[in-house]
Amino acid sequence: MIFGFLKPPPLSPRLHRLRESDLLNTLTPLELKIVDGLMHERRYLAGEIIFDEGEEGQALYLVTAGHVQISRTINGAPEILTELSPGAFFGDLALLDNSPRNAQARAWDNCELAVFFRADFMSLMETDAVIGYKISLALARHIASMLRGAMDPARPPAGAL
């Protein structure tokens, strides 16, 4: 093939996992690689707290392996809101502001997360507006979906973190 050098390199297994997320599925392979370079990999043991309700939000988390349980204290008792599996992300409001977390995130089983800190996201917005736009649009769609769900009386509210 004469122009084989123009073909994008194959995606690594990690990049494939990131691309499965609604947050990053519109990125090109090169854009995905740039974002991956900004993300930090974290591993949590089953039952380990990722963050607590009331903590300052500093990062978005993307589940790459395992499961995460989101719970909130309601009437003095913890109540499980949802369980997230690979491809899901949470803590999305932390990319937009530094308000306190409104729920607790805990590893349901051993899990791996890709962590995207607000400072890195803000830098990305300044240096690569196209990638920043794509991620911001995915965040807006996700938050809109959660708001619609919160207004549906048949669905229990999950809330953004």
Please compute Rg for the chain using Cα positions: 17
> Against a cut of 0.75, is the pTM above it?
yes
The closest alpha carbon to 94, from 133, 56, 131, 129, belongs to 56
- Report the number of secondary-structure helices (H) and strands (E) in the chain: 4, 8
Q: Strands (DSSP E) along 21-98, which ranges?
A: 40-44, 49-51, 59-65, 68-74, 77-84, 89-90
pLDDT score for 97: 85
- According to DSSP, the residues that pair with 90 across neighbouring strands are 61
pLDDT score for 99: 84
Residues of the chain with pLDDT under 70: 1-9, 155-161
pLDDT score for 161: 57
Percent of the chain with pLDDT over 70: 89
**CA 131/CA 29 separation, integer angstroms:** 12
Work out the mean pLDDT of the chain and round it to a whole number.
Answer: 88
Contact status, residue 69 vs residue 48, Cβ threshold 8 Å: no
For the chain, give the number of residues. Answer: 161
pLDDT in tens, 28-65: 999 999 999 999 999 999 999 999 999 999 999 999 99
pLDDT score for 9: 63
Dihedral class, residue 36 (left if φ above 0, else alpha if ψ from -120 to 50, else beta): alpha
Cα→Cα distances 161→9, 14, 40, Å: 35, 24, 19
**CA 126/CA 148 separation, integer angstroms:** 31
